Amino acid sequence: MDTTKNSILIVEDESLSIRALSEILRHEYTIYVEKKSSKVHELAKRVLPDLILLDVMMPDMSGFEVINELKMDEETKEIPVIFVTGMTNSEDEAKGLACGAVDYINKPFKESVVRMRVQHQIRIINLIRKLQNLSTTDELTSVGNRRYFLTSVHQEWERAKREQTPIGVMMLDLDYFKRLNDTYGHITGDAVLVHVAQTIKSGLKRASDKVARWGGEEFAIIQPNTTLDGVRKIAEDIRVAVENSRFSVDGQDSISLTISIGIHCVIPKPGDEYTADDLIAAADRALYKAKRKGKNRVCYHNEPD
């Protein structure tokens, strides 16, 4: 599958309609197909298409029921849906738009109309993502920024609370960064931050593990569905990777780098007053414990002083 293409999920029970839409769109987009509307929600959560073409009249669930199901799920509610229909009733069209559909494509298909309506929605999607990426990416290091991290933590916190799974957070701080800046200058300091950010990112093994620049020389990581031992192991791997890396200045001086890491991990309890912000604060306290104990180490929240 070409991951550079936008993806479209076609929901149709008629083979001729599937073949017609696929032929029109397959050269520009990655195509998924589902014939049973009762399985659309599950498939949409798994592949997260950029756009769904949804037939209104389906044998098991109507398109209206399917879109309502999609809109009730945090993971799928933002996926735009274009209804596909052979009906010309304006009341049905109004009902679909009221349910959250972004457009309609009428049968029989006109290739130019299908292309135009799909391209229009894809352009909107890509523009929104570009703007979102700019607002959630740290300009210097290209990892997430503080806003991105806080949004991710609160989303994963609610998921962990629903599913009763552990969630871990790391707070990481580059040791002796002020001294490095004073010795080599801020341009070198910035280059070091980029190097460290990429070293941290390469130490994460799952797409669900997210790294962000918290501020200055401090970074943060969220690890959903990970036990304390799992968080501790990844933290130690990252610490060692930073320590073993070398940053060369003008091809001459080789700067030794180390990082201190504070971690915490909990299973959120429904109704508990403990929050995602408390989780971050606990990891931050563990970070400063690591600093006090001599730097270049991993400490966890409940670790004895």
Query: What burial letters (b/e) apply to 71-93, b meaning 16+ CB within 10 Å?
Result: eeeeebeebbbbbbbeeeeeebb
Query: What burial letters (b/e) apply to 139-177, b meaning 16+ CB within 10 Å?
Result: eebebbbeebbbebbeebbebbbeeeebbbbbbbbbbbb
Residue 211 in tokens: 């790294």
78 in active site: no
Q: Which of 184, 166, 296, 191 is nearest to 241 (CA)?
A: 296
Q: Which of 77, 84, 212 is nearest to 141 (CA)?
A: 212
Q: Which of 69, 217, 243, 273 is catalytic?
A: 217
d(CA 168, CA 235): 11
d(CA 38, CA 56): 13
Q: Which of 173, 217, 175 is nearest to 193 (CA)?
A: 217
Are 262 and 287 in contact by the 8 Å Cβ rule? The answer is yes
d(CA 12, CA 151): 35
Are 132 and 125 in contact by the 8 Å Cβ rule? The answer is no
Residue 225, classed as helix, strand or coil, is coil
Catalytic sites, residue numbers: 217
